[in-house]
Structures are given as structure tokens and as C-alpha cells.
Amino acid sequence: MFAQDAEEEEGHSLEQTIGIATRETLRGIKRFVRQIYWSLTRVAARWQRWLRRLAPFVPIVAVAALADRGLLLAWRDQGLRVLTTYVPLMLYVYLRLLFTPRVRMAGKIALALALAYALIRHDLITDRLPIPGYLDDAVLIVAATRFFLYTCPEELVSSFAQQAISWRRRMRTLQRARPR
């Protein structure tokens, strides 16, 4: 393409030919960057809408996981410090269980369906009402998380919990050893 342009305009010097080729290349790169930017902004807008709809359910999922009697007893004894240690560990264990093939699909599907139901606006009690609208979603998510944990093998849950605890200990040791 560039050689053909150079042949058509025999009056151009080598520098002018290189300049024309450089401009065309830069225009192509600029067009490509604009297309990528446009695509990424559309994707970001779409994800932002989904995340905005999902935001009210993050505390519900956390409460569902925290509805454990053992945790409530620990919370009563140690206070809010339990939340700062338990919630990240709990999320780690849940995510590992969710992506492990040894866990039955029924629990994973129930959890996915409960979250999908929570995202749908037209459900049993409309989500436009602040508290009652999320009530059916919260009950369904709590039930799905309990069912999900029920379908997980206990030794697998214990193994992931031990890994999370040992990771937490290693991180504390590293933080203490780091010079300030």
C-alpha cells in the first residue's frame, strides 16, 4: 500500500514517503484506540449497572454467612474483631468451595439461582420497597447458602478453612516482620 502510494507520487522524496506512511499508521492506531476505548466504556457502563443492582445484596450474603451460631458466640465474647478476621476467611472458603469440582452441583446451582432471583426486579415482593422488597431475596439467599454448605463435604470445608487460617497467620507474621 505504501509502496504503491510512493510510486503514484514520484515527486515525493524518501522523507515525505516515510512521513505519509507514519501518518497513516498513526491514524490506524488512533482509530484502534478509539474503538477499544468505546468498547471498554460500554462494558464498564454495563458492569456498573449490574454492580449497582448487586450492591444491596452484599450485606445480605455477609449476614447469611454470619448467621452461624458459633460465630455469634465468638462475636459476643470477642466483639467486632471477629468480623475483621472471620469475614475475609469466610469469603475465601466460600469462593474456594464454589470453584471446586468436588462440591455437588446442586448447591452451586441453588446459590446461583438465588443470586439471579435477587437481581431480577420482578419477583414476589417488588424490590422498589426498601426493606420488605429485599426480604424475600434475603431469605432465599440465606437458604441457598445454607443448602450450599450442606452439599459441601465437611472435610473439604475444614481443609479450606485451615488453609485460610494458615494464610492469615503467615500474613500477620509478614506484617510484623516488615520494617516500619
pLDDT one digit per residue (tens) for the chain, 180 residues:
555 554 555 567 888 888 898 999 999 999 999 999 999 999 888 888 877 777 776 666 666 655 666 666 666 777 767 767 777 788 888 888 999 999 999 999 998 898 888 777 677 666 565 556 677 777 788 888 889 988 999 899 889 888 888 888 887 787 787 776
The pLDDT, as a whole number, for residue 3 is 53
Residue 66, SS3 per DSSP: helix
Count of beta carbons in the 10 Å neighbourhood of residue 178? 7
Provide the whole-model pTM: 0.52
Cα–Cα dist 71/67, whole Å: 7
Count of beta carbons in the 10 Å neighbourhood of residue 172? 11
The pLDDT, as a whole number, for residue 25 is 92
The pLDDT, as a whole number, for residue 19 is 86
Count of beta carbons in the 10 Å neighbourhood of residue 73? 11
Q: What is the DSSP string of 131-180?
A: THHHHHHHHHHHHHHHHHHHHS-HHHHHHHHHHHHHHHHHHHHHHHHS--
The residue to which cell 426486579 is assigned? 121
Could you give the count of Cα atoms lying within 13 Å of 47 in the half-sphere of its Cβ? 6
The pLDDT, as a whole number, for residue 114 is 87
The DSSP secondary-structure symbol of 10 reads T
Count of beta carbons in the 10 Å neighbourhood of residue 29? 10
Using CB atoms within 10 A of its CB, is residue 123 exposed (0-12), middle (13-18) or buried (19+)? middle
Cα–Cα dist 152/102, whole Å: 8
The pLDDT, as a whole number, for residue 61 is 63
The pLDDT, as a whole number, for residue 105 is 93
The pLDDT, as a whole number, for residue 78 is 73
